[in-house]
Amino acid sequence: MSSTQSRDIATSRQVRRADVVVIGAGLAGLTAARELGAAGKSVAVLEARDRVGGRLLNHDLGDGQVTEIGGQFVGPTQDHILALAKEVGVDTYRAAVPGEAVYVHDGRAKRFTGHTPPDLFALPDMGIALARIGQAAAKVDPAAPWQAPNARELDGMTYETWLRKAEITGDAVDMINLFLNSAYGGEARDASALFSLWYVSTFGNETHPGTMERGTGTTGGAQDSRFVGGSQLVAQRLAEELDGRVHLSAPVRRVSQDSTGVTVISDAGDWRADRVIVAVPPLVASRILWDPLLPAQQDQLFQRLPFGTLMKCVAVYDKPFWRAEGLSGMGLLRDGSPIREMFDNTPPDGGPGVLMGFLGGKEWRKWAHRPAAERRGAVLRCFAQVVGDRAFDTVDYVEQDWTAEQWTQGGPTSVAAPGVLSDFGQWMGRPHGRVHWAGAEFSPYWNGYMDGAVRSGKHTATELLHQI
């Protein structure tokens, strides 16, 4: 815990006072607090955990090195997180490592360069799929997906059903699932078609419409760059700036509002404020005691936006041995492989070697309850298919299961099943009296990403400043 943050113990029910209480010290909450502070408002940020960063979490590798076990990638059009990181002095570096990637299918590992896996049977279908997804996503307004043409029809079926109706066959659906495994912590069958096409439409900004290629891409795409010092450092720097206004281990239990203000009851004490910004995942927000109750539609919406099921699996080695063999450490694995997508997560100065894989969706459901040694073995066997048997010679192995995090309850983002967006979507960011909403899931661009969180934090702070 930084000396600039304070841990409060609720020894009495003395009520403290701030213009605005922000609930949640992830990127959205911290950004909102920073904006409000800059506008001269007094702010208190209440964070349930004993750390800041929300879904951003660094893992200490020793010797001052870290690797991320939460969100980590940024890329072009994610202007807001990139600008914020620059402002707080956190540099970026290119995530891609020189060398060949590996595509594992039908028990065979094939090396490849560029963005296109060497699969002659899947690629034609994949091309058709990308074209059809692109055309359909272009018709969805990132700010109001429920107004899209055929919104109700699209929201009446799963994404997988829509893909198959669009004559996209099993190989291409599996390739799309490979991406969704880490992007949703789920699969095409878990999400509505409208949600999924909208999600693609958010992979851009006000001048660059979202595309699937940008969302799935490494260099030039959403996985283009990483932060020197780890992504959580951005949140930590924001908390340092907020000097003493971030209160850790302060889970909020109840929010009551009346005509004169809002009372926030937390484990670290009570607060009275003119306004409150809630910057926690929608499902977690729905579990706060609300007085008066949230509008029923909004409560229903938040309950229907659970995060996916995702674990990050990280193996640490003396050095990134695969690089000497011309491998980038990136792997795409099909056929029900526990790890479907993996990356070289080695710190920017080249050591120690780190491989990271996502265990998500139905693979998480299959492996999460298995004994840890068996799960680790399965993960390392996946890594070995990509970089060879030296993958077994780990010096450290770490798993971060985001479903086990009480204050996140899954990862990496909310995934809406059929019927949610068209029936309840318009309630997403609607203020509840003096309570405003922020978070990566509230953004029309890069929804669920770091950039979405920062955008949302800024937007909500601006919205609020116009009202007080």
Partner 1 sequence: MNRFVVAETAVIDAPIGRVWDVVSRTDRYAEWVAGAIEVTDHHGVATVGKTYAERNRTLGPLKTDSVWTVREIELRKRRVDTGTGFTPLRDVTNTFEFRPVQSADGREVTEMLYQVEYAIGLGPLGLLLDSIQQPAMRAGMRTSMANLNTLLRSEASRTAL
Classified as helix, coil or strand, 273 is strand
Element (H, E) at 258: strand 252-258
Supply the DSSP symbol for 158. Answer: B
- Count other C-beta atoms under 10 Å from residue 318's C-beta: 12
Cα(459)–Cα(443) distance, rounded to whole angstroms?
9
- DSSP for 338-391 reads S--EEEE---TT--SEEEEEEEEHHHHHHHTTS-HHHHHHHHHHHHHHHH-GGG
CB of 427 to partner 1, least distance (A): 41
* By CB under 8 A, residue 384 contacts partner 1: yes
CB of 394 to partner 1, least distance (A): 5
Q: How many residues bind partner 1 (CB under 8 A)?
A: 16
Nearer to partner 1, 88 or 384 (CB): 384
Cα(54)–Cα(460) distance, rounded to whole angstroms?
18
206-212, Cβ contacts within 8 angstroms, sequence gap of 24 or more: 206/445, 208/76, 208/77, 209/138, 210/137, 210/142, 210/445, 211/134, 211/137, 212/130, 212/133, 212/134, 212/137
- Count other C-beta atoms under 10 Å from residue 244's C-beta: 12
Residue 350 is which amino acid? G
Nearer to partner 1, 32 or 355 (CB): 355
Nearer to partner 1, 316 or 330 (CB): 316
CB of 362 to partner 1, least distance (A): 12
Nearer to partner 1, 39 or 384 (CB): 384
Nearer to partner 1, 93 or 392 (CB): 392
Nearer to partner 1, 153 or 318 (CB): 318
* 32-40, 87-95, 117-125, 391-399 -> range binding partner 1 (CB under 8 A): 391-399
Element (H, E) at 236: helix 232-241
The answer to whether the bond into 292 is cis (omega within 30° of 0) is yes
Nearer to partner 1, 19 or 174 (CB): 174
* By CB under 8 A, residue 312 contacts partner 1: no
List the beta strands (DSSP E) in 42-165.
43-46, 58-62, 65-68, 92-94, 100-105, 108-112
> For partner 1, which residue of 381, 390, 431, 465 counts as binding (CB under 8 A)?
381
Nearer to partner 1, 240 or 396 (CB): 396
Structure-block tokens of residue 287: 């579990």
* By CB under 8 A, residue 120 contacts partner 1: no
* 115-123, 144-152, 352-360, 389-397 -> range binding partner 1 (CB under 8 A): 389-397
* By CB under 8 A, residue 368 contacts partner 1: no
CB of 104 to partner 1, least distance (A): 14
Total number of residues shown for the chain = 468
Cβ-proximal residues to 187 (8 Å cutoff; 6+ apart), any chain: 160, 177, 180, 181, 361, 362
CB of 202 to partner 1, least distance (A): 36
* 26-34, 79-87, 369-377, 420-428 -> range binding partner 1 (CB under 8 A): 369-377
Contact flags string 77-106 toward partner 1, x per CB under 8 A: ------------------------------
| CA angle in degrees (0–180, nearest 5) for 302-303-308 | 95
* CA proximity to 275, closest of 52, 455, 459, 42: 42
Q: Tokens 């997180």 correspond to what residue?
A: 81
* By CB under 8 A, residue 373 contacts partner 1: yes
> For partner 1, which residue of 378, 386, 415, 454 counts as binding (CB under 8 A)?
378
* By CB under 8 A, residue 395 contacts partner 1: yes
Cα(271)–Cα(261) distance, rounded to whole angstroms?
10
CB of 226 to partner 1, least distance (A): 24
* By CB under 8 A, residue 372 contacts partner 1: yes
Nearer to partner 1, 60 or 393 (CB): 393
* By CB under 8 A, residue 376 contacts partner 1: yes
* 147-155, 179-187, 380-388, 455-463 -> range binding partner 1 (CB under 8 A): 380-388
CB of 315 to partner 1, least distance (A): 8
Question: Site residues (CB under 8 A) for partner 1?
Answer: 372-374, 376-378, 380-381, 384, 389, 392-397
